[in-house]
Amino acid sequence: MASKSNKSCSTPELGCDRTSEKKVNVSPRVALRLLSLQSTGMDATCAVSTGWMWRWSDVSWALARVNNRTASLFLRVKYGGQERFLSDLVWWAGMEAREFFATKGWQYRSATTVQKLAEMAVLDKLAPRLCKLCKGVDRPVEKGILFFANDPEPAVCRECQGTGLGRPPSSRARARQLEISQAQWRYRWGFRFHSFSEHLEELEHVALQIIYQAMSES
């Protein structure tokens, strides 16, 4: 559990918020970054509220409250920097996808296709494609220099329309990844992919809420 201490945050680069006197007032996404120190043997701490210190073991304890295995591993890889769990995450995501398909009544001939779809969805969430023009900063870029409009509001990147994200892979590329035809992707698997991607987002949201609640109660 978190311990009371007068020491300052030993990892200030984590951007901890000390504005709360009694309640934990830090984003779970920030706290999860302490997990990256687990393999180093460092006893690094982060003050998430005035006088209270969190260690990676405290965050690991909070993460244990997340019952969904896919969600737990996803947070470890995405926010905790624990890429060694990526293969486990992909495997469990495949299991999650098959259960998700079952709840929807969706049939399929090959479990391999579902597993590949799950892997594709996970990797998309972990490493979204950045816009080639603005490099994900939502502003036009040319030769490494940001360009702004004459008015007070900065110009919006014309390529991504301010999202910072690049164009998604084509239906042909998606179909090739799943080893299916483009027609199958358009009429069936494309919808399934986007539905499962939204399901992963919901799992992530719920898991982060669970961690925040655990941190608040400690």
> Predicted confidence band at 99 (pLDDT cuts at 50, 70, 90)?
very high
What separation, in Å, do the N-terminal and C-terminal C-alpha atoms of the chain show? 6
**174-189 tens-digit pLDDT:** 999 999 999 999 999 9
**16-47 tens-digit pLDDT:** 443 433 344 567 777 777 766 655 555 445 54
3-state secondary structure at position 145: strand
Question: Which of 197, 213, 211, 187 minimizes the C-alpha distance to 34?
Answer: 211
For the full predicted model, state whether its pTM sits above 0.75: no
**119-143 tens-digit pLDDT:** 999 999 987 777 766 666 655 555 4
188 backbone φψ class: left, alpha, beta (φ>0; ψ -120 to 50)? alpha
Cross-strand bridge partners of residue 49 = 52
Q: Where are the domains of the chain?
A: 3-64
Tally helices (H) and strands (E) across the chain: 8, 5
Could you give the strand order of the β-sheet that contains 3-4, starting from the edge strand earlier in sequence?
Answer: 3-4, 52-55, 45-49
CB 171 within 8 A of CB 191: no
Chain centre to alpha carbon of residue 74: 7
